[in-house]
């Protein structure tokens, strides 16, 4: 058995044409676990998490929380984590976390009820998929009584926030059901005096997960069918044990990889309820799936048929993070399909590489959908027409962001020859042990360590790439 560690700046070589077959387990959800860690800062009680994903974004969030006083015991192999923040060492999140991920801005909501000191957090980061302004966050927190100011610092700016007079519940209507703004407002509302009501809130499964955790922690919180969340403020907290939901993005990604490669993969942990919209679109193009009690089996069920119209949207719509690999799937479907991105305005940058691989994808600035979105009459290319089926060829690829990265891996798996993929830490941010899982499913993959004297190693199926990732890799 080769050494399981992956060191240096490695690239992944994928030789396409081999169907993926076998079993893979979806790890805990990235977009849930990172927020749960921040939520645990509300109290000084012990919180124990299970099904914790061993990925880059969790590493970054742990480092950030430890910086301000959290004690963490993380058993990566067992997928368990025990945390407690008995007291805050500081309310200043250092500038080195600037641009690391979207988590620092959520520190404001979590810490406003925990300290009277100024809370200082760096500007928000993320993958280059479009603007993600924090105006909605700030407006909501200010309505609760927070004082927030943006100040320029050495290289980048930071937000200074405090609530010296405490937070007071109120009615907040979000202009857009932003996931981050909803989360930040929920976190602040837990310790605000009285009732906080959030209207037009995001209701993604990861937000429901946050609400379930906070109820265990001591919050009195409800969610209504009209996107209204109600929170009765509290300062009494309890110890919590919580199992993180499986990652619906990872589950769908492996499902699409299985079908596009003409294989069959059972994704353990894939949850039907959280993937209804995705499964409908998959069935429309002719993809096969079989829902079982402990997961979903995805399989190639004959030639894929295009003619699909797809619009991304907030939950329960088609998730924007499913869009990139689905476009790759559509390149293998006969006919013409339309995809309209309504969540992020710059999320089709990855299609340039797909075209170089042979895909027939055309970008449009217009809203090619049933409704106009926020980007109508603007200059953003936020719609595409995909014509298939087209054969793809391998090439050298540099991954620009997390979800585009998996789309490139899918494209390489179905290409006619070998692709060389760099920028692997982006993938490691959200996909646990993805190289090992690829190998276990039968993919022809090899990690190559790029140094002055190049050394090639075939990676065993249980390999992990977490040592590859810089502690402050960009985050979505």
The H or E element spanning position 205 is helix 205-217
Domain carrying residue 295: 11-26+246-450
DSSP state letter for 107: H
DSSP state letter for 41: G
Distance CA 174, CA 346 (A): 22
Which stretches of the chain score pLDDT less than 50? 1-8, 125-132, 452-476
pTM strictly above 0.85: yes
Q: Which of 373, 260, 364 is nearest to 318 (CA)?
A: 373
Binding residues: 30-31, 102, 321, 343
For residue 353, is it within any domain?
yes
Q: Tell me the angle at which helices 30-39 and 179-190 cross, rounded to the nearest 10 degrees.
A: 20
Same-domain check for residues 252 and 197:
no
Same-domain check for residues 304 and 323:
yes
Residue 468, pLDDT score: 38
Same-domain check for residues 209 and 98:
yes
Residues near 133 by beta carbon (within 8 Å), at least 6 away in sequence = none
Same-domain check for residues 226 and 359:
no
β-sheet with 9-15: strand ranges across: 396-398, 418-422, 9-15, 444-450, 455-457
For residue 6, is it within any domain?
no
Residue 156, pLDDT score: 72
Residue 467, pLDDT score: 35
Binding residues for UDP-N-acetyl-alpha-D-glucosamine: 102, 321, 343
Same-domain check for residues 186 and 271:
no
CATH number at residue 131: 3.65.10.10
Distance CA 127, CA 205 (A): 22
Q: What are phi and psi of 374, to 5 degrees?
A: -60, -20
* End-of-domain residue from the set 210, 243, 276: 243
Residue 407, pLDDT score: 96
* End-of-domain residue from the set 243, 259, 281: 243
Same-domain check for residues 294 and 413:
yes
Q: How many structural domains are present in the chain?
A: 2
Read off the tokens for 104. Answer: 């620092």
Residue 100, pLDDT score: 56
Same-domain check for residues 15 and 37:
no
* End-of-domain residue from the set 173, 208, 243: 243
For residue 111, is it within any domain?
yes
Sign of CA dihedral 177, 181, 187, 193: negative
Binding residues for phosphoenolpyruvate: 30-31
Distance CA 199, CA 24 (A): 38
Same-domain check for residues 130 and 15:
no
Residue 371, pLDDT score: 78
Same-domain check for residues 222 and 302:
no
Same-domain check for residues 72 and 89:
yes
Residue 131, pLDDT score: 43
Same-domain check for residues 222 and 254:
no
Residue 101, pLDDT score: 62
For residue 161, is it within any domain?
yes
Q: Which residues are catalytic?
A: 127
Distance CA 218, CA 144 (A): 20
Read off the tokens for 349. Answer: 């940058």
For residue 469, is it within any domain?
no
Same-domain check for residues 15 and 53:
no
Q: Would you tell me how many other CB atoms lie within 10 Å of the CB of residue 456?
A: 11
> Contact 445/415 with Cβ under 8 angstroms?
no
């Amino acid at each position: 058995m080769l050494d399981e560690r992956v060191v240096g700046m490695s690239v992944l070589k994928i030789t396409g044409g081999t169907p993926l077959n076998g079993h893979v387990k979806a790890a805990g959800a990235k977009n849930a676990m990172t927020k749960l860690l921040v939520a645990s800062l509300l109290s000084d009680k012990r919180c124990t998490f299970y099904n914790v994903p061993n990925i880059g974004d969790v590493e970054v969030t742990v480092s950030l929380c430890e910086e301000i006083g959290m004690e963490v015991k993380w058993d990566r192999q067992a997928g368990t984590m025990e945390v407690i923040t008995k007291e805050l060492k500081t309310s200043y999140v250092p500038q080195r976390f600037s641009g690391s991920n979207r988590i620092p801005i959520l520190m404001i909501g979590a810490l406003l009820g925990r300290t009277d000191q100024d809370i200082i957090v760096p500007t928000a980061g993320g993958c280059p998929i479009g603007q993600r302004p924090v105006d909605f966050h700030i407006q909501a927190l200010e309505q609760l009584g927070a004082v927030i100011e943006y100040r320029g610092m050495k290289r980048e700016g930071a937000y200074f926030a405090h609530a010296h007079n405490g937070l007071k519940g109120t009615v907040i209507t979000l202009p857009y059901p932003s996931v981050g703004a909803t989360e930040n407002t929920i976190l602040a509302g837990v310790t605000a005096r009285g009732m906080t009501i959030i209207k037009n809130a995001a209701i993604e499964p990861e937000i429901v997960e946050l609400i379930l955790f906070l109820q265990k922690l001591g919050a009195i919180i409800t969610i209504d069918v009209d996107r209204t969340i109600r929170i009765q403020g509290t300062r009494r907290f309890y110890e919590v044990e919580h199992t993180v939901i499986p990652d619906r993005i990872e589950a769908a990604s492996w499902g699409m990889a299985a079908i596009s490669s003409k294989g069959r993969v059972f994704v353990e942990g894939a949850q039907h309820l959280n993937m209804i919209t995705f499964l409908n679109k998959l069935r429309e193009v002719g993809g096969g799936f079989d829902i079982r009690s402990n997961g979903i089996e995805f399989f190639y069920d004959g030639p894929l048929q295009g003619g699909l119209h797809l619009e991304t949207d907030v939950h329960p719509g088609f998730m924007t993070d499913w869009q990139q690999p689905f476009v790759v799937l559509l390149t293998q479907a006969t006919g013409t399909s339309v995809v309209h991105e309504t969540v992020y305005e710059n999320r089709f940058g990855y299609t340039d590489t797909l075209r170089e691989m042979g895909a027939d994808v055309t970008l449009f600035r217009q809203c090619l959908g049933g409704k106009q979105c926020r980007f109508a009459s603007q200059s953003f290319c936020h719609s595409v027409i995909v014509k298939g089926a087209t054969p793809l060829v391998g090439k050298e690829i540099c991954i620009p962001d997390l979800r585009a990265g998996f789309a490139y891996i899918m494209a390489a798996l179905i290409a006619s020859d070998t692709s060389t993929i760099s920028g692997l830490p982006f993938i490691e941010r959200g996909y646990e042990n993805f190289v090992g899982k690829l190998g276990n499913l039968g993919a022809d993959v090899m990690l190559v360590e790029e140094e002055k004297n190049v050394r090639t190693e075939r990676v065993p199926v249980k390999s992990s790439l977490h040592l590859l990732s810089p502690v402050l890799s960009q985050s979505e």
